[in-house]
Structure 1
C-alpha cells in the first residue's frame, strides 16, 4: 500500500495526469488510506477538493478525493470521468468492487493507464502473524489462521480482534488465560452486524439466498425476489462487493448468525422456499437443494424424485440420508422405502433394512407387484444374521410363481438349507419365462447350485464339474458393476461350491469377476487357506470385525484354520472360547460346512468335540436329508476323518470312511478323497505295512488335484515318519518338501489351465494314452483322467474332438 501512496504523491508532485483508485471490501482500510494520501497532498500544496471543485483559480488541476465512489450518483461519476480524461481534474478515489457498473469500470480503466489501481485483498495467515507481532502478541500459526477465517481476512476487523485480545490479556489477572476464539468471534460478529445493517433489503435478500446455497444467477434472483433483471444484477454486484461472498459466491459462514439476526428467520425461510419453488418450476433443483428443502419442511413430490435420483448414484451412507429425507416429504412411497432398505443393507445397517422390510411385508400378499424385492431384502438380512431357515421361509411364502428377478437369490437360500424341491420349483418357474439374456445366465448359476445337491444331474463328466461350470459361467456373466449384498451372498455360495469341489481356479475366477467388494478379502483369505497358502491367508484376513453373524463365524474359522495348520496350540486355546458363541448365533447350512469343519478339527485338537457335537449332528442331518450329495458331503466326511485322526478316534474314522465309500460308490468323483481318507486312517490306526507307498502316492496326488496342498504335505510327512524303508522315507520327505514349495509358489489366475493341466494337455495333443501320460509325468492314469475331465470343463468342450480343437486353438500344441 505504501508503494501505491508514494506513486500517487509523485504523480501529484510532478503535475502528471492523475487518476488513482483503491478497491477493497468494507473494513479493508480504504478510508484510512485516502486520509494518508490527503495529508501528503496538503504537504505538497496540491489543491484538493472533497467532491467536485467549485472554482478554477488553482495553479494546476484540482485533485478530487472521492471516498466510497460506488455510492456516488452515476451522472456525477460519469462527469468526473470525462473531466479526468480531459485533464481538467485529478481523481483519487476508493470503492468497493463492482463488476457490472459500467461507469465505475470506466474510472478503473482510466486508472489502469497509469497503473494506479490498488486491489486491497484480504490478509493471509502470515499477514496476521506480522500484524500480531506489531501489536505485541505471540500467536501460533493455527490461531492466526483461525483469526483470519473468522474475520474474513479483512484488515480492520483483524486489527480490531488483535487489539481486543491484547486488551483482554492486559486486564486478565495473574494465571488467567484469554479465550482468544471468543474474543475474535465477538469482534467479527459486531463487524458483520454493522455491515449488514447498512445494506439495502434487496442486497440482504441476495446474501440470505447465498447462505442457503441457492443459485445466484440473475435470472433466478429476479424471479425469486420479484424484481427486474437489472435490479437483480445490481444487487448481486453489491452483495459481492460487501465481502460476504467469496470465491464462487460462497457465503462467509462467520456472518450467518448476524445475517439471521438482521434479516430474521421468517424472511430467511420465505426466501428459501421461494427459491426452491423457482427451481422446481425450472427443473433445475440439485440433489443438495432438494435435501435442504426437505430438511426445511418443504413438501413437494418433485423433491422426492430429485432425492430418489440422487440416491441411486450416491454412496450407501449418503443414499440413506437422501432417502430418509424423501420419505419425510412423501411418507410411505414404496420405491423410496425399497431403495432405502437396499442402501441401508449395503452400508451395513442390517437392522435398519430389516425393520423397513418387516413393516412392508407385514400386510403384503405374495402376488403383490414388486413384493419379491422386499422379500429379497428380508431374506438377505436373515442370512446375514445366520438365520438361513428364515430366509428360505420367506421365499417359500412368496412361492415360485412370484419370485421373478429374485430367482437366483431364492435358489441360493433354499439350497443352503437343503430344500432341493423348493429350489427346483423356483428354477422351473423361472425357466418357463422368456429366455432373455439376464434370465438365461441367472438360470445357469441356479442350475449349478441345484446340480450340487443332485448326484443324478450331469452328462457323464461328474456332478462337481457340471455344477461348478454352470455357476462360474452364470455368475461371471452377471456380476454387478456396483457391489450389493445379494451378489455377496450368491458369491459366498458359489465360492463354497467351488472350494468343496476342489476347484480353486474356479473359486479364483469367481472372486476376480466380483471385483472390489465388501467381503472380497474374506473370500480371498478362505481361498488361500484352502490352497495351503498360509502367508497370504494371514495377510488378507480382515482385521475389522464383520457386522453379520455368518461373516464373523467365517473369519473365526480362518483364524482357527491358520493356528491349526501352524500347530499353534496356545493360539487355538485363546481363540476357542469365542467359538461356542459364534456357532450358537448361526444356523448350519451347506455354505458353512467348510467353516464348521475347521471348528471340528480344532475341537478334536483341544479334546472338546462334545461342545460342538450338536452342530456336527445338525450338519449330518442336513446332508442325510439330501442323500449326502457328493460335492458337499464328501469334503465334510473327509474332514470328519481328519478330526478322528487328530482325536485318535478309530471308531469315528471308520464311520466317516463308510460315508465316503458310499458316496464314491454313487459318484466316482469322490474317489480321490476316499483314497486320501483311507490312507490317512491306515497310517494312524493300522500297523505299519498295511498301506504301501503307491497307495500313499495316489492319496497325495488326489489331495493335490483338489488343491489341498497343505493336507498333501501333511500326509506325506506322516507317511515318512511311519515308513521303515529309508529310501521310501527320503522320497516321501522330498514329496512333502515339493508340495510345500508348490503351495508357497504364487498361482497364476489369468491362464486357462494350471501348470499341471497344461502339461497333460500337451501330452494329450501328442496322442499319448492316459497310462502313457501318467508314466511320462510320474502320476497315475486315474489322476490323468481327473485332469482331462477338469480341462474339458474349463474349455467347455463336450466330445474328445472338441477338446482337442479347443486345446490347439488355445495354443497348447
Structure 2
C-alpha cells in the first residue's frame, strides 16, 4: 500500500488524469522512501515512461534516456537514490522539469499504515524506531525485509553504518557517507535509526561484523579517537593481537565511570596479549571485587620488571585499608613511594598508633608534580589526621573539611583508602560537631565516592541524635554489599539501635555478627565508634571478657599516640557506660576522671565530663535535678541527644522525690523530641491498667498478676505494651518510673 502526503498526492493525481503533460519528473530519495511504490501507482498513466533504480543503470542505458528526452513530448518519471550519481544520470536529471518529493511518515500516517495492516504496535514507538521511513515502518513487523539492503551494502557502507552505531564519527569510514545516507538507514543528523542498529546486530553474520569492527578499531587507533563503543561488542570474542590488546586497554581507560566495565575491558586486553596491570587491579577494586584486585596487584608486585609495581602497591594499600587492615596498608603505601601514597601511609600510621613513624614520613608527604585537586586534597588529609592527635580538634576538622571540598569534584573516579569527608566526619563526631559532618557527607555522596561509608556515618549521626527512623533508613540505603570496614560500622549501628530501643532479643541476635566482625577487623583509631558500641553491648549481655583484648589494644593505641582527647574521650565515654552496666564503680570513676581531665579541650569534652560526673552521683543515689537536667541538655547540645535523654530518664527512676521525678521525665521527653507531660496521672490509665500497674510495681510476675485478676499472662503483657506506648516510655525502666509517677498518690513512696 502507498500513503502519500497531500502535495505528492496532488502531483500524482495530475499525472494520472493527464492534466500534467508532458510529464518530466524525478523521484530522488534514499532507500525505503517508497520510490518503487510511487512508480507502480503511476503505472496506469498514458504516455509516461517509468524508470526505477536509475542510479544503477549503465552509461548506455542512460544515454538512451537522454536521446528519448530529445522528443519534447516524451513523458518520463525516473526514480533514483541520491547516490551514486554518475555523470550520465546528471544529464538525464538535467533534462527534467521537476521532482516528486517523498517525505517520511508523520505520526498520523504511521497510525494509518499500522491500522491498515492490522498491526497493534504503538505508532509513537514505531516512529521513534524508524524515523517514519516507510520501508522501515514495514520492516518493524518483519526485520528480514532489510536483509536485501544489508546484503547489497558494500564493505565501506557497512563500515560506515557500524561506525555510526558506535557513535565513532562520520569521518571514520572514509568517503562512504553519501552511500550510507542513500540506504535510508540513517536519520537526518547522521545517527543510525534504532531499527537499523537492530538489523545490523541480528542480520549481519557475526564473523562479518567482527571483521568490520576490527577494521574500524584499527582506523580509530591510528587517528586517536574514542574506542569504547567500538570495542564493547568485541570484548567477548577472544580477539588477540597487539592492536586489539591496545584498543581494549585504551577503551578501559574511557570506561572509568563504570569500573566493572573497565575491569572487563582490561581482562579482554590481557586475553589479547597485554600483561596484567595495576589498572586492572584498580578497576576491580573500584567495582568491589577486593579478592581479585589483591590477587592481581600482588601478581604485578611479584613481577620484578613490571613498570607499574608502585601503582600495584598503591592499589593493594587502598584495598587493604577498605578491608580494615590499616597497618599492612601503610606498609604498602610507604613502598609505593609517590607523594599521594606517602600521605595515605601517614594516615595509616597514625591510625595504628605509630606516631613516630608518621612524624618522619610527614616530612616527605609532599605533592609530586603539579598541585592537582587530588594531590592537594590527599596532602591536606594527611595533615588533618596528624593535627587530630597532636593539635586542636577544631584545627584538624577545618583542615579535613577543606580537603573534602577540594577532592569532591574529582573523587568519583579515584580509588581511595578513605575519604577526607569520612575522616572529617569522624573527627566531627568525636568532637560534637555533627552539624558540620552532615553536609560534608551529603556532598561526598553526591560526588559518588565511597557512598556506603558516607551513608553509614550519616546513620551514626542520626542514631546519636535519637532519630532511629532516619538511622535505619540510612543504614538500608548503604546496602548489604559492603567492604569489611563498612560492615564493621553497619553491625555497630545495628547493635547501637537495638540497645537504644531496649530490644534485648534483637541485641542478642545481632551480637553473633558483632563477635564475628570484632574478630575479623583489627582495632584502629578510626573504628572507635563501633568498638565503643560493642563494649556497652557486651556489658549489657555479660560478654565483656570476649571484647577485653580488643579494648586493651585500643587503649594501648591511644597511649602510643599520647592519649589525644579527641579520640580518647569517645572510648572513655563508652567505657563509662559499660562499667556502669557491669556494676564496676571503680572502673566507671576511672573513665569519668579521664573525661574530666579532657574537659578543657572544648565544649563537647566539657559536656562529657559534666555528664560523667552526674552519672556517678546518680548511681550513688545523689540526684540533683537541676544538675542532671543541665548535664542532659549539655549532651543534647553537642549531638548526643539519646544519651542526654537517657541520663535524665535514669535519674528520674532513681530519685524518691516525686516532683524531681516528673521534672526529669519531662526533660527526657523533651530531649527525645516529645511533648512534656501535662495531663494528670489518673486520667491517662484505665481502671484495669491501673490494677495491672500497681501489681507490676509490687513486683508480681505477669503470670501472678493474671492469676489474681483472672486474665491471661498474655493479656497482662498486652496491657503493659499499651501503657508503654501511651506514656511514651522507651525502656522498661522508664515505663516503671512513669507508672510510679502516675500512681504515686495511691501507691505511696517506694
Q: Same fold (TM over 0.5)?
A: yes
CA distance in 1, matches of 2:180, 2:266: 35
Deviations 1:1-35 (A, max 9, x none): 47667753544544533234556666776546534
Asked whether 1:716 is paired with 2:648, we answer yes
1:385: which partner in 2? 323
CA distance in 1, matches of 2:90, 2:675: 78
CA distance in 2, matches of 1:471, 1:237: 58
Q: Is the 8 A contact 1:531 1:743 kept in 2?
A: no
Asked whether 1:241 is paired with 2:186, we answer no
Judging changes above 3 Å, is the alpha-carbon distance between structure 1 residues 320 and 742 closer, same or farther for their aligned structure 2 residues?
A: farther
Deviation at 1:64, TM superposition (A): 1.6
CA distance in 1, matches of 2:3, 2:419: 72
CA distance in 2, matches of 1:452, 1:496: 11
CA distance in 1, matches of 2:62, 2:370: 79
1:673: which partner in 2? 608
CA distance in 1, matches of 2:485, 2:561: 22
Corresponding residue to 2:551 among 609, 616, 629: 616
CA distance in 1, matches of 2:369, 2:78: 80
Asked whether 1:91 is paired with 2:76, we answer yes
1:700: which partner in 2? 632
CA distance in 1, matches of 2:633, 2:167: 72
Deviation at 1:715, TM superposition (A): 0.8
CA distance in 1, matches of 2:429, 2:279: 34
1:511: which partner in 2? 441
CA distance in 2, matches of 1:156, 1:431: 62
SS of aligned partner of 2:363: helix
CA distance in 1, matches of 2:162, 2:553: 63
Deviations 1:15-60 (A, max 9, x none): 533234556666776546534533x33xxxx3xxxxxxxxxxxxxx
Aligned CA RMSD, in angstroms, stands at 4.6
SS of aligned partner of 1:93: strand
Select between 709-718 and 65-74 the one with higher mean Cα deviation: 65-74
Judging changes above 3 Å, is the alpha-carbon distance between structure 1 residues 583 and 252 closer, same or farther for their aligned structure 2 residues?
A: same
Q: Is the 8 A contact 2:573 2:595 kept in 1?
A: no
Deviation at 1:514, TM superposition (A): 3.3
CA distance in 1, matches of 2:675, 2:67: 90
1:69: which partner in 2? 54
Mapping for residues 182-581 of structure 1, pairs under 5 Å: 184=142, 188=144, 191-195=145-149, 199=152, 203-211=154-162, 221=173, 232=175, 237-243=178-184, 248=190, 250=192, 251-254=196-199, 259-260=204-205, 265=207, 272-284=213-225, 286-289=227-230, 296-300=239-243, 303=247, 306-307=250-251, 310-311=254-255, 314-327=257-270, 331-332=274-275, 337-363=277-303, 372-395=310-333, 402=337, 404-430=339-365, 444-453=380-389, 457-458=390-391, 463-479=392-408, 481-483=410-412, 484-486=414-416, 488-508=418-438, 510-511=440-441, 514=444, 516=446, 517=449, 518=451, 519-543=453-477, 544-581=479-516
CA distance in 2, matches of 1:480, 1:157: 46
SS of aligned partner of 2:522: coil
Q: Is the 8 A contact 2:623 2:654 kept in 1?
A: no
Asked whether 1:141 is paired with 2:125, we answer no
CA distance in 1, matches of 2:200, 2:209: 14
Q: Is the 8 A contact 1:409 1:490 kept in 2?
A: no
Q: Is the 8 A contact 1:431 1:443 kept in 2?
A: yes
Judging changes above 3 Å, is the alpha-carbon distance between structure 1 residues 643 and 150 closer, same or farther for their aligned structure 2 residues?
A: same
Q: Is the 8 A contact 2:401 2:421 kept in 1?
A: no
Deviation at 1:129, TM superposition (A): 4.2
SS of aligned partner of 2:490: helix
Q: Is the 8 A contact 2:343 2:382 kept in 1?
A: yes
Deviation at 1:391, TM superposition (A): 1.8
Question: What is the TM-score of this pair, normalised by structure 1?
Answer: 0.68
SS of aligned partner of 1:532: coil
CA distance in 2, matches of 1:706, 1:743: 21
Count of residue pairs brought into register by the alignment: 652
Judging changes above 3 Å, is the alpha-carbon distance between structure 1 residues 107 and 256 closer, same or farther for their aligned structure 2 residues?
A: farther
Deviation at 1:97, TM superposition (A): 4.8
Deviations 1:488-530 (A, max 9, x none): 3444333223212223234336435635232332221122222
CA distance in 2, matches of 1:667, 1:25: 83
Deviations 1:615-658 (A, max 9, x none): 4344344335545432222221221221233x3x222x421431
Judging changes above 3 Å, is the alpha-carbon distance between structure 1 residues 511 and 720 closer, same or farther for their aligned structure 2 residues?
A: same
Judging changes above 3 Å, is the alpha-carbon distance between structure 1 residues 679 and 79 closer, same or farther for their aligned structure 2 residues?
A: same
SS of aligned partner of 2:628: helix
SS of aligned partner of 1:650: coil
CA distance in 1, matches of 2:297, 2:332: 12
Q: Is the 8 A contact 1:635 1:673 kept in 2?
A: no
**Which consecutive residues of structure 1, in runs of 5 or more, have no partner in the other structure?**
47-61, 134-138, 163-183, 223-231, 745-813
SS of aligned partner of 1:91: strand
Question: What is the TM-score of this pair, normalised by structure 2?
Answer: 0.73
Asked whether 1:16 is paired with 2:20, we answer yes
